[in-house]
């Protein structure tokens, strides 16, 4: 009986997390639509534009790029509000990770980008990547977008 209760609680938690993720995604894209309307930007407004959205998967740390206007939308920090900035805000970036040896192979942990900015109050931004492959792909995308 206790096992059934525990399994039910785990399933309920998984369903709640899934629904929260969908809600966060809907709110995220709604905010991008608002920015597009208010500022004339062309940020992607659905999952079809994920190649312009650098995110850790939860949209809590995110940079969205609009190549047509050379602007970016930054969502980071505890307030998680959207900031509209020019591409020139980012001076350079570096993909970083920690290598861990296990079972005769390497695993990559703490994969993230460190962005150096032109902001004296916030000279460094850290945005997590899902994994090393995601980071490598985005490293190449950033080179195309920002140079």
Q: What's the DSSP call for residue 69?
A: T
Closest CA to 54 of 28, 24, 74, 71: 74
Residues 41-84 pLDDT 10s: 999 999 899 999 998 877 778 999 999 999 999 987 656 678 89
- Coil, strand or helix: which one is 146? helix
Q: What angle do CA 94, 86, 135 make, to 5 degrees?
A: 25
Residues 86-119 pLDDT 10s: 999 999 999 999 999 888 888 999 999 999 999 9
**pLDDT for the residue numbered 36:** 95
Hey, what are 77's tokens?
A: 């920090």
Output the CATH code of domain 2-146.
2.30.29
What distance in Å separates the CA atoms of residue 138 and residue 113, rounded to the nearest whole number? 9
Enumerate the β-bridge partners of residue 30. none
0.85 exceeded by the pTM?
A: no
**pLDDT for the residue numbered 80:** 63
Could you state, in order of their start, the residue ranges of all structural domains in the chain?
2-146
């Amino acid at each position: 009986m206790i096992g059934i209760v525990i399994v039910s609680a785990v399933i309920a938690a998984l369903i709640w997390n899934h629904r929260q993720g969908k809600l966060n995604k809907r709110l995220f894209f709604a905010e991008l639509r608002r920015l597009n309307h208010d500022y004339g930007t062309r940020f992607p407004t659905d999952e079809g534009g994920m190649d312009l959205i650098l995110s850790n998967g939860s949209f809590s740390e995110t940079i969205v790029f609009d190549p047509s206007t050379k602007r970016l939308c930054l969502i980071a920090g505890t307030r998680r509000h959207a900031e509209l900035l020019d591409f020139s805000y980012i001076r350079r970036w570096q993909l970083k990770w920690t290598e861990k040896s296990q079972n005769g192979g390497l695993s990559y942990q703490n994969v993230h980008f460190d962005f150096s900015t032109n902001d004296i109050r916030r000279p460094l931004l850290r945005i997590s990547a899902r994994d090393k492959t995601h980071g490598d792909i985005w490293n190449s995308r950033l080179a195309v977008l920002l140079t």
